[in-house]
């Protein structure tokens, strides 16, 4: 099975014609003979719109290509509750779900992920309450309602992931794990002391996830959230991929191509499972 992965398309921020984009993406995926298309979060700033997009893309593709997605922080801003995010809302939604690839020993595990402020540990003077206040004031996630702390939410992610990895290990499956948030410190950018970006690092992800994934010798990890263009990197026996497309606006241009379709195409990663 040929699998393609992407993240951080930000279709609303990038002001795209969604109907036309769906047609273009569907045609390209079909031309590449893709069997399964995975999206690692951040389609819209509204979960309802993200789900509708995935459903329309699946309709456009028909039965030839399967589409699966998880939610990024932007998808969680509105249109969904924490409790709903923890449920199997739709066959396309893969948070805390798995998919076995027929005729192979591969299993795909999805988890939205979260963060615990540990990537901001170069700011020892900052306490948990400081990150909570800064988040509400400056970070888009401040509008996301949840019944537990960020640390507790990350604990839940780790518990869910441990359970899924143990199940895969029990039946001797190779694993492709995809999530939205950053699992290793190697991808975090630290700015000169005093720069606000070092505060934002608190909400990038957690090194505890990478440690867990490597403990289980997870084969492939795909993530997004940071709009960077790194080459695949292997740590222990685990290879990490960031396939974020990112922003192209009047204020911020993170693309290397001149239009969305070209950037999206170059940012796709493929796996033969």
pLDDT in tens, 98-117: 999 999 999 999 999 999 99
- Residue 197 corresponds to which tokens in the numbers above? 């970006």
Question: Domains, the chain, ranges and CATH?
Answer: 2-272 (3.60.21.10)
User: What is the side-by-side order of every strand in the sheet holding 269-272?
Assistant: 66-70, 36-40, 2-6, 269-272
pLDDT in tens, 123-151: 999 999 999 999 999 999 999 999 999 99
User: What's the pLDDT at 193?
Assistant: 67
**Mean pLDDT (the chain, rounded):** 97
pLDDT in tens, 191-223: 886 678 899 999 999 999 999 999 999 999 999
Q: Can you give the pTM of this predicted structure? A: 0.97
């Amino acid at each position: 099975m040929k699998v393609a992965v992407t993240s951080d398309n930000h279709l609303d921020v990038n002001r795209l014609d969604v109907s036309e984009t769906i047609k273009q993406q569907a045609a390209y995926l079909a031309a590449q003979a893709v069997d399964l298309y995975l999206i690692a979060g951040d389609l819209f700033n509204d979960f309802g719109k993200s789900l509708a997009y995935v459903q329309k893309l699946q309709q456009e593709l028909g039965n030839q290509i399967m589409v699966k997605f998880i939610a990024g922080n932007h998808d969680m801003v509105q249109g969904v509750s924490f409790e709903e995010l923890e449920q199997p809302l739709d066959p396309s939604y893969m948070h805390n779900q798995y998919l076995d690839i027929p005729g192979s020993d591969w299993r795909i595990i999805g988890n939205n992920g979260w963060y615990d402020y540990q990537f901001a540990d170069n700011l020892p003077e900052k306490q948990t309450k400081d990150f909570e206040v800064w988040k509400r004031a400056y970070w888009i996630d401040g509008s996301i309602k949840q019944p537990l702390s960020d640390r507790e939410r990350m604990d839940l992610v780790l518990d869910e992931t441990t359970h899924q990895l143990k199940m895969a290990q029990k039946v001797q499956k190779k694993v492709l794990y995809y999530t939205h948030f950053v699992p290793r410190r190697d991808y975090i950018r630290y700015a000169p002391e005093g720069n606000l970006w070092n505060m934002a690092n608190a909400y990038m992800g957690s090194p505890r996830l990478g440690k867990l994934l490597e403990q289980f010798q997870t084969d492939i990890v795909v993530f997004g959230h940071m709009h960077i263009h790194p080459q695949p990197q292997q740590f222990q026996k685990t290879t990490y991929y960031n396939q974020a497309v990112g922003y192209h606006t009047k204020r911020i241009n993170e693309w290397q191509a001149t239009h969305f379709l070209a950037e999206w195409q170059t940012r796709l990663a493929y796996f033969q499972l």
